[in-house]
Amino acid sequence: MRIGELSRITGASVRSLRYYEEQGLLRPVRRPSGYREYRAEDAATVRGIRLLLGAGLGTATIGELLPCMTDDGEVLAPACSAMVTDLHRERARLTEAAEELLAARDRLDAIIEATPRLDPAGPADPAECAAAAEAAR
């Protein structure tokens, strides 16, 4: 099948499919005309790629893990228990990133909360606002 058909079947854009190929995640056959020719099993590969991307994994990690995954059409799962360590590592990385984002949001909330109620008719121009802040010091 051609790239447009694979795009329709999987919901992945043609641009994404080309990117997956650039990253070595998909390996279509090249016809003498230069067209890419995809196999039916490439649709399952794309589903796996999208699922792992949606789980927060990068393409380099997906490239390492995807060949060792099984896909029964409903669930993507490791083919061997050795992969679970890698998946736990990725989960820990995502947990840390989520905690950092939540901490940043909390700091922003504190800044918003500390902001005095301003006169809506007060300065809106950043330069005027900076001058007003300097005068208040």
Indicate the pTM of the whole model: 0.70
DSSP-assigned letters across all residues of 46-113? HHHHHHHHHTT--HHHHHHHGGGEEE-SS-EEESSTTHHHHHHHHHHHHHHHHHHHHHHHHHHHHHHH
Domain extent at residue 130 = 3-136
**One-letter amino acid of 89:** R
Direct distance between the N- and C-terminal alpha carbons of the chain, in angstroms, rounded to an integer: 69
Q: What is the pLDDT of residues 102-118, one digit of tens each?
A: 999 999 999 988 877 76
Between 77 and 89, the more confident residue is 89
| pLDDT higher than threshold 80 for residue 91 | yes
pLDDT of residue 69: 83
Question: How many domains is the chain built from?
Answer: 1
Distance CA 137, CA 133 (A): 7
Q: Where residue 74 sits, what CATH number does that domain have?
A: 1.10.1660.10
